A and B are shown apart, each in its own frame.
Chain A
Amino acid sequence: MAQSTLAPAATPAAAPRLGRHVGLLGAVLLVVFLAAFPHVVTSSYYIHLLVVIAIYAILILGLDIVVGYTGQVSLGHAGLFGIGAYSAAVLFLHFKLGLWSGLIAGTAVTSVFGLLLAVPALRVTGPYLAMVTLAFGTIIQIFINELTPLTNGPLGITLPPARVLDFSLIGMSSPWGAAGRKLEFYYLVCAALLLTIVVVNRVVRSPFGRAFEALRDSPIACDCMGVSVYRYKVYAFVISAALAGLAGALFAWSERYVAPNSYGFELTVLFLLAVTMGGRKSRAGPLIGSAIIVMMPNILADIELVRMMAGAIALAALVVGVRAFLRRQENRYAILVPVVLCVLFLPATLALQSVTDFRLTVFGLMILFVVYYLPDGIVGFLRDKIPALRPAHTAEGRVLTAQGAALVAQRGGADADPLLKIESVLMQFGGLKALAGVDIAVRPGTIHGLIGPNGSGKSTMMNVLTGIYIPTGGSVTLARDGGMQRLNGRTPSEIASAGVARTFQNVQLFREMTALENVLVGLHHTFKGTIVDAIFGTPRRRREEREARVRAVAILDFMGLGGLAQVEARNLPYGKQRLLEIARALALDPVLLLLDEPAAGLTAPDIADLTAIIRKIRDAGITVILIEHHMDVVMGLCDRVSVLDFGHKIAEGGAREIQKDPKVIEAYLGSPVSDQEPAHA
C-alpha cells in the first residue's frame, strides 16, 4: 500500500510512555500510603477520616463513569448511596446479617436501582436528566423516611461494630490481637478502594469505556457504528450504581448508623463537586476530590486555619491580579472579579466567629470556581501544565506499524441481483413529503451516486437507510447471507450490525477520542468479550484488543492517517476529520458504505486521494452509495446515478446519460427553452 510507506510508524512519544509510569508510580505510592498510614498516625479519628475518604472515593470513581465518560449529569447518586447503606443496615436490622451480606446486598440492590435510573436516561439528557435523577434521589429519601416497618423511619438504624473476619468459626483467635482487629475494617475499605480503581481502570480502557465516550461525543454516530447507545448507557449506570451501593454499604458499617437525612441533595452536589474538582476521566481526580470534600468541613471548623488559608488565597490572588495588570495581560479585566472576590474572602473570615454555618456557601463558591476556572479539575490542570502526566492513550498493545488488511473483501462484482432494494419509500414530516415513493436498486460492487439539488431528499434518504428516520411507508431490504433482510423499522445500531456503515454530512466524530480510538469504536463488532472479560482482563480480552489495534492502524494507514493515530479527533484538520469518518465506517466491515458529501471542504489534491480511496473500497467488493455535490467526482466515480428532486426520483442511469437527461438539467438549472424571462448572469 502506498500510504503505509508514507505514514511514519509513529513511535509513541516519550511523554505518554512516562505517563504510563506515572500511573503505576501513583498506584504504588497509594498502596504504600494506605498500608503505612495506621501505623504512622495511630489516632482513630484520622483513620476514620481516611476510611470515609476511601468510601466516598469508591462512589466518586463510579460517578465519574457517568459524568466523565458518558457525559451525563446525575443528581441521583446520593440516593443510590443511601440505597446501598440501607440495604446493608436493613439486612442487619431484620435478619441480623453482618458486614459481608450487607456489602453483597448493597451492591446488588443498588445495581437494580441503577437499572431503573437508566430507563429515563435512555430518553433524555442534560438538564432533563439532571431533574429526573434529582427527582429519583428525592423519592428515595421520602421512601426511606416513610417505609418505617422496613427502614425504621426517621429514627434510623444503629449497627454494632463490624466483624470483618470471624476467626471463631475456624476455632482460632485473631493472629493480630485486639489492636489489629480494629484495623481490619480499615484494610477492608482500602482493599475495596484498590479493587474499584483496578476495575474502573479496566472497564474504561475496554470497548465498554470507548462506547461510553463515544455515546457522549456523538450518540448518533455511536448508534451508526453498531454500538447501541441504549445498551451502553445502561451498562454505565449499572456499574456506577453498583459502586455507589458498595460504597453505601461500607459507609453504613463504618458510621454504624444510618438515617434518612444523610443522603440528600447536598451530598449529591458534593459528589459532583468532587468529581469535577478532582478531574474527570482519571483515577487520581476522584481520590483528590473525595479528600477535599471530606476534609473541608474539618478545615472550616478551625477558624484560625481558615483565616490563614484565606490570607494565603488573598495574597496569591493579589499577586496574580497585580502581575496581570503590570504586564497588561489580555485577560486582566476578566480575572478582576475572581481576584477581588478572593481578596474579600479574608476580611469576611476575620469578621466571622465561625464559618461552619457558611459551609455550603463555601462549597457553592468552590463549584462556581471549578466550573469557570478549573473545568478539567485539578488533575486536568496538572496534565495541561505537565505533559508527563498526560494519559497514555495507546496504553495497551502499542502496535503502530501497519500489519494486516485494512479492508475485508465483500461478496461483490458480477452479481445481477441488487444488494439494496429501496421500494416506494415515503418519508413524511407533517405535511411535507421529503421522500414521495422512491424506488432505487443498488447493485453489489458498484458505486451508486445519489444527486439532486438542495432539499431534494438525499440526506433524508441516508437517514432512512440507516434507521435514524423510520419511513412512513415503503420498504428497504438488504441482500445478506443469501436472503433479503428488511432494514426499515430497525434501529440504527441493528442496521449498522447488518453491514451498513455511513459517514455524516456534518462531521460526527468522537471528538475527545484519538483517531485510533475512533476507529476502534468502529471495530466494536469484533469484540466478543463480555463485561466480565473487561473487568478481569482475560486472555481473550487482551487478544481481541491486540487484534483490533492492528486492524485499526491498518485502516488508518489505508486512509493515509497512520501518522495521526494518537491525535484527538477534535484537533485534526477538517479534511482529515472527513477521512477519519470514512476510516471509522470501514472498521465496521460493511457490505454497503454510505458516504454523505465526503469531498465537502476538501482541497483539490485531497479530493484526488479520496477518489482513489473510494475506488479501492469498491474494488474490495464494498458497495458504495455516494452523495456528492462535486459533479466531477460523481461523474468520474459512479457506475450508476440516481437523481432526486423534491422527494421524487426523476432520473437514473449511467453518468453520461444522466448528464444529458433534460429533466436533470431542468432540476438543476431551470427549464431552458420555454422560459421567456431573460437569463440573468
Chain B
Amino acid sequence: MAIFLQLIASGVAVGMIYAAIAFGYQLTFATSKTLNFGQGEALALGALFGLTLVPIVGYWLMIPLVLVFGFALGAVVERLGVRPAVKIKSEYGWIMATIALGIIFRNVAENIWGRDDLKFPSPLPEAAIQVGDTRILPMELLIVAGALLMMLAVEIFNRKSIWGKAVVATSNDIDAAGLMGINTQKVITLSYSISAMTAAFAGVLVAPVTLTGATMGAVLALKAFAVAIIGGLESGLGVIVGGLILGVAETLTGFYISTGYKDVPGLILLLVVLSIRPVGLFGKAVIKKV
C-alpha cells in the first residue's frame, strides 16, 4: 500500500505536467482550430534556455525570462508555421509546418546544447519529505503548484482582462469576434504565445526530475495530446483530470510492468479514446451540418 501511494504521489506530479501542456493545446485549438505539433520542442527549448540562465541569474529570476522566451517562441511558430497555412486553408500545411519548425528547433538545440541529456539543478532540497508512509520530493510539490498556478493565471487572464475576453470571444465564434472589431489574427498569435509559454514553463518545472535535452519533449507532448483529447480539446479543466489519470497510470505501469513500457498506456489511451469517442470523455458530440 505504501508503494502504491508513493506511485500515485509521483504520478500526480507527472500528470500535472501533461495537464499544463494539454492546456496549451486547448488554447490554440480554441482560437484557431490548429495546434502546434512542435509543442514538445517548445518545452525542451524552455528547459534548455532555463538551464543556461540558472547559473547567470539564479533559479527564481530565470522563470520570468523563460516565460518571455516561450511567449516569443509561440509568436514565431504562429507567424511562420500557422498563419500562412491558415490563409491558404491548408490543414496539411499547418500540420507539416509546425512539425518542420519543431524539427528545426530540436536540431538547432542539439547543436547548441549537445545531444546528451543534462542535469537541471533543483531549486529545492532534494531530500524527500516524509508524509505518513509516503515520501514526496519537494520538487514534485513545486511542479504541482507551478502547473496549477500557471493554468489559474491564464484562466484569470482570460476572464478578467480585455485581451483575455477577446481570446474567449474568438474561441466562441471567430467570425462574429472579427465583426465586433477584435483583431482575431492578433488573438490567435496571443494564444500561440501563451500556449508556448505554458509549455516552456512546464519544461522548466519538469527538468529537475527528468533530464534536460533536445528530445525530452517529443513523447511528453504526444502523451499530453492524449490528455487533451481525454479532457476535451475544446475547453475546460478536464485536462487536469486527464493528466492525473495518465500520470498515475504511467507510474503504475512503470513500476508493475517495466519502465520500458511506461509510455505505452498514454499512447494506447490516445488510440482507444480517438477510436471510440473522439470528442473525449468530457466533450460534447458535435452535430454535423449538411
Which among A120, A131, A139, A371 is the interface contact of B100 at CB below 8 angstroms?
A: A371
Listed residue (A128, A132, A136) with the most chain B CB atoms within 10 angstroms of its CB: A132
A130–B95 touching, CB < 8 Å: yes
B260–A468 touching, CB < 8 Å: no
A120–B271 touching, CB < 8 Å: yes
Q: Which residues of B contact A361 (CB under 8 A)?
A: 103-104, 107-108
A139–B267 touching, CB < 8 Å: yes
Q: Which residues of B contact A359 (CB under 8 A)?
A: 107
- Alpha-carbon separation in the docked complex, A148 to B287 (Å): 47
Q: Which residues of B contact A462 (CB under 8 A)?
A: 290
Q: How large is the interface on B (under 10, 10 to 19, 20 to 34, 35 or more residues)?
A: 35 or more
Which among B95, B222, B276, B290 is the interface contact of A220 at CB below 8 angstroms?
A: B290
A505–B290 touching, CB < 8 Å: yes
Known: A135-B267, A360-B107. A126 touches B278 (CB 8 A): no
B111–A357 touching, CB < 8 Å: yes
Q: Which residues of A contact B258 (CB under 8 A)?
A: 146
Which among B96, B225, B264, B274 is the interface contact of A276 at CB below 8 angstroms?
A: B96
- In the complex, chain A residues 41-78 whose Cβ is within 8 Å of any chain B Cβ: 67, 71, 73
Q: Which residues of B contact A139 (CB under 8 A)?
A: 264, 267-268, 271
B216: Cβ under 8 A from any A Cβ: no
CB-nearest residue of chain A to B257: A146
A136–B271 touching, CB < 8 Å: yes
Q: How many residue pairs at the A-B interface have CB separations less than 8 Å? A: 132
A119-152, CB under 8 A of B: which get 1 and which 0? 1101110111011101110110010011000000
B168 to chain A, nearest CB (A): 22
B35: Cβ under 8 A from any A Cβ: yes
B91: Cβ under 8 A from any A Cβ: yes
A124–B278 touching, CB < 8 Å: yes
- In the complex, chain B residues 261-290 whose Cβ is within 8 Å of any chain A Cβ: 261, 263-264, 267-268, 270-271, 274-276, 278, 287-288, 290
CB-nearest residue of chain B to A126: B91
B53: Cβ under 8 A from any A Cβ: no
- Alpha-carbon separation in the docked complex, A145 to B258 (Å): 12
Extra A-B contacts (5), CB below 8 Å, given A131-B222, A363-B100: A269-B103, A364-B103, A365-B100, A367-B100, A371-B85
- Alpha-carbon separation in the docked complex, A71 to B95 (Å): 13
- Alpha-carbon separation in the docked complex, A120 to B111 (Å): 37
A266: Cβ under 8 A from any B Cβ: yes
Q: Which residues of B contact A123 (CB under 8 A)?
A: 274-276, 278
B138: Cβ under 8 A from any A Cβ: no
Which among A73, A145, A272, A371 is the interface contact of B260 at CB below 8 angstroms?
A: A145
B103–A363 touching, CB < 8 Å: yes
Which among B219, B260, B278 is the interface contact of A128 at CB below 8 angstroms?
A: B278
- Alpha-carbon separation in the docked complex, A238 to B270 (Å): 21
Listed residue (B34, B93, B111, B274) with the most chain A CB atoms within 10 angstroms of its CB: B274
B93–A375 touching, CB < 8 Å: yes
A167: Cβ under 8 A from any B Cβ: no
- In the complex, chain A residues 227-271 whose Cβ is within 8 Å of any chain B Cβ: 265-266, 269
Q: Which residues of B contact A73 (CB under 8 A)?
A: 91-92, 95-96
B215 to chain A, nearest CB (A): 10
- Alpha-carbon separation in the docked complex, A272 to B92 (Å): 10
A372: Cβ under 8 A from any B Cβ: yes
Q: Which residues of A contact B84 (CB under 8 A)?
A: 372
B111–A367 touching, CB < 8 Å: no
Q: Which residues of B contact A126 (CB under 8 A)?
A: 91, 95
- Alpha-carbon separation in the docked complex, A71 to B267 (Å): 24
A266–B103 touching, CB < 8 Å: yes
A631: Cβ under 8 A from any B Cβ: no
B154: Cβ under 8 A from any A Cβ: no
A360–B92 touching, CB < 8 Å: no
A459: Cβ under 8 A from any B Cβ: yes
Which among B90, B97, B226, B287 is the interface contact of A368 at CB below 8 angstroms?
A: B97
- Alpha-carbon separation in the docked complex, A367 to B104 (Å): 10
B101: Cβ under 8 A from any A Cβ: yes
- Alpha-carbon separation in the docked complex, A459 to B289 (Å): 9
23 cross-chain CB contacts under 8 A: A71-B92, A123-B276, A126-B95, A127-B35, A135-B267, A136-B267, A136-B271, A142-B260, A269-B99, A269-B100, A276-B92, A357-B111, A360-B107, A361-B107, A361-B108, A363-B103, A364-B107, A367-B103, A375-B90, A462-B290, A468-B288, A468-B290, A508-B290
Across chains A and B, which 10 residue pairs bring their CB atoms closest together, nearest first? A367-B100, A364-B104, A360-B107, A364-B103, A135-B267, A364-B100, A146-B260, A120-B275, A361-B107, A135-B270
Listed residue (A119, A358, A368, A463) with the most chain B CB atoms within 10 angstroms of its CB: A368
B1: Cβ under 8 A from any A Cβ: no
- Alpha-carbon separation in the docked complex, A269 to B218 (Å): 14
A72 to chain B, nearest CB (A): 9
A504: Cβ under 8 A from any B Cβ: yes
Q: Which residues of A contact B218 (CB under 8 A)?
A: 265
Listed residue (B218, B226, B276, B278) with the most chain A CB atoms within 10 angstroms of its CB: B278
A429: Cβ under 8 A from any B Cβ: yes
B103–A371 touching, CB < 8 Å: no
B264–A142 touching, CB < 8 Å: yes
A142–B261 touching, CB < 8 Å: yes
Q: Which residues of B contact A463 (CB under 8 A)?
A: 290
B56: Cβ under 8 A from any A Cβ: no
B88: Cβ under 8 A from any A Cβ: yes
- Alpha-carbon separation in the docked complex, A504 to B37 (Å): 35
Q: Which residues of A contact B211 (CB under 8 A)?
A: none
- In the complex, chain B residues 86-119 whose Cβ is within 8 Å of any chain A Cβ: 88, 90-93, 95-97, 99-104, 106-108, 110-111
B85 to chain A, nearest CB (A): 7
Known: A135-B271, A142-B261. A360 touches B222 (CB 8 A): no
B104-137, CB under 8 A of A: which get 1 and which 0? 1011101100000000000000000000000000
B166 to chain A, nearest CB (A): 24
- Alpha-carbon separation in the docked complex, A429 to B91 (Å): 29
B222–A134 touching, CB < 8 Å: yes
- In the complex, chain A residues 603-662 whose Cβ is within 8 Å of any chain B Cβ: none
CB-nearest residue of chain A to B98: A127
Q: Which residues of B contact A131 (CB under 8 A)?
A: 222, 225, 229, 270, 274
A620 to chain B, nearest CB (A): 27
B5: Cβ under 8 A from any A Cβ: no
- Alpha-carbon separation in the docked complex, A363 to B104 (Å): 8
Q: Which residues of A contact B225 (CB under 8 A)?
A: 131
A357-385, CB under 8 A of B: which get 1 and which 0? 11111011101100110010000000000
Known: A120-B271, A138-B222. A358 touches B93 (CB 8 A): no
B225-264, CB under 8 A of A: which get 1 and which 0? 1100100000000000000000000000000001011011
CB-nearest residue of chain A to B81: A368
A132–B90 touching, CB < 8 Å: no
Known: A130-B37, A269-B99. A371 touches B93 (CB 8 A): yes
A336 to chain B, nearest CB (A): 14
- Alpha-carbon separation in the docked complex, A124 to B90 (Å): 17
- Alpha-carbon separation in the docked complex, A479 to B80 (Å): 58
CB-nearest residue of chain B to A506: B290
- Alpha-carbon separation in the docked complex, A371 to B108 (Å): 21
Listed residue (A120, A357, A505) with the most chain B CB atoms within 10 angstroms of its CB: A120
B113 to chain A, nearest CB (A): 13
- Alpha-carbon separation in the docked complex, A416 to B290 (Å): 33
Q: Which residues of A contact B99 (CB under 8 A)?
A: 269, 367
A375–B88 touching, CB < 8 Å: yes
CB-nearest residue of chain A to B277: A123
Q: Which residues of A contact B276 (CB under 8 A)?
A: 123
Known: A73-B92, A429-B287, A463-B290. A135 touches B100 (CB 8 A): no
Q: Which residues of A contact B278 (CB under 8 A)?
A: 123-124, 128
Known: A130-B37, A131-B270, A146-B261. A368 touches B103 (CB 8 A): no
- Alpha-carbon separation in the docked complex, A368 to B35 (Å): 16
